[in-house]
Amino acid sequence: MSLINIGICGASGKMGKALVREVVNSNKLQLSGALEKDTNANIGKDSGIIANIEPTGVNIISNTDTFFAGCDAVIDFSFADASVENIKAAINHNCAYVLGTTGFNEAQVHQIKGFSESIPIMHAANMSVGVNIALHYTELLSKTLNEDYDVEIHEMHHRDKIDSPSGTALALGKAVAKGRNIELSERSIKARWGIERPREKGDIGFSTQRGGDVIGDHIVTFAGNGERLEIAHKATNRGVFANGAVSAVLWLHTKAPGYYNMKDVLGLN
């Protein structure tokens, strides 16, 4: 079986480096491209050296046409605006697209879903197997536990993370909302500063911390009278996300155009 040519968008970032290592170590994938914006200090450098492994022979570039021309599939953990433009280029080269970028607004998500009519796109806020199991059971618990159980979602990430709450925290909130058949946007509380009233029944609360080098902690608390039930996931190595992304690209690259998620990849739908 021939190797699948994989390109990585955001190749010099924290996740990009982990992805380079994961792809290089796979016996089914071949690193074919490494993309960064043209102002990145690592343009022209070997992607393996940047990822702290042996040279790969694949230099980091900024030219999207050159990058996508050599790819069968792409894994993207970059920034929202860049990802939208990258997917447009991927369509021109018929590349399957594994998208792990967070921080999209509703209009951008709608746009991405439209792009999936042309190429297969697997979009997930978090690609770790454990997180997606947590999402699955959060939804199931939300169907079982009524609004007498208050839901609070807490997350903590490293000091450099920009978006807040995290994409995974929002995905957990959407799982709660789906389980309870409500709209997250209408029931979410993302900050309590200045709110001087009791918590309203059915609200979904979010709290955020940033600091140190925390890769990603998420806790969903169902707080009832006299008891609390929690679903927690703590990542200690970015390899879990890279491993999930590789599993996703192996699953996705032969699929028809469509908008998929990690539940599809893991067979949880």
CATH (domain of 28): 3.40.50.720
Instruction: State the pLDDT at residue 238.
Output: 85
Query: Is 28 an annotated catalytic residue?
Result: no
Query: Is 157 an annotated catalytic residue?
Result: yes
Cβ neighbours of residue 106 closer than 8 Å, sequence gap 6 or more: none
Distance, CA of 171 to CA of 184 (rounded, Å): 10
- 228 and 177 inside one domain: yes
- pLDDT tens for each residue of 57-104: 999 999 999 999 999 999 999 999 999 999 999 999 999 999 999 889
Catalytic choice (154, 157, 218, 233): 157
- 44 and 115 inside one domain: yes
Residue carrying structure tokens 């469509």 = 258
- 139 and 191 inside one domain: yes
Range of the domain at 40: 4-123+238-266
- 67 and 46 inside one domain: yes
- 69 and 85 inside one domain: yes
Reported confidence tier of residue 212, pLDDT bands at 50, 70, 90: very high
**pTM score:** 0.81
- 115 and 179 inside one domain: no
- 138 and 117 inside one domain: no
- 23 and 118 inside one domain: yes
Instruction: State the pLDDT at residue 125.
Output: 83
- 163 and 252 inside one domain: no
Instruction: State the pLDDT at residue 18.
Output: 94
Instruction: Read off the tokens for 195.
Output: 């709110």
Which helix (H) or strand (E) segment holds residue 7: the answer is strand 4-9
Closest residue by Cα to residue 245 from 57, 58, 18: 18
Count of structural domains within the chain:
2
- 118 and 144 inside one domain: no
Distance, CA of 57 to CA of 160 (rounded, Å): 29
Q: Give yes or no for a contact between 68 and 7, defined as CB atoms under 8 angstroms apart.
A: yes
For residue 76, the 8-state DSSP code is: E
- 218 and 261 inside one domain: no
Closest residue by Cα to residue 128 from 13, 232, 255: 232
Instruction: State the pLDDT at residue 1.
Output: 65
Instruction: Find the radius of gyration of the CA atoms of the chain.
Output: 19
- 204 and 243 inside one domain: no
For residue 267, the 8-state DSSP code is: T
> Which domain CATH number covers 169?
3.30.360.10
- pLDDT tens for each residue of 26-46: 999 999 999 999 999 999 999
Reported confidence tier of residue 268, pLDDT bands at 50, 70, 90: confident
Catalytic choice (161, 174, 218, 253): 161
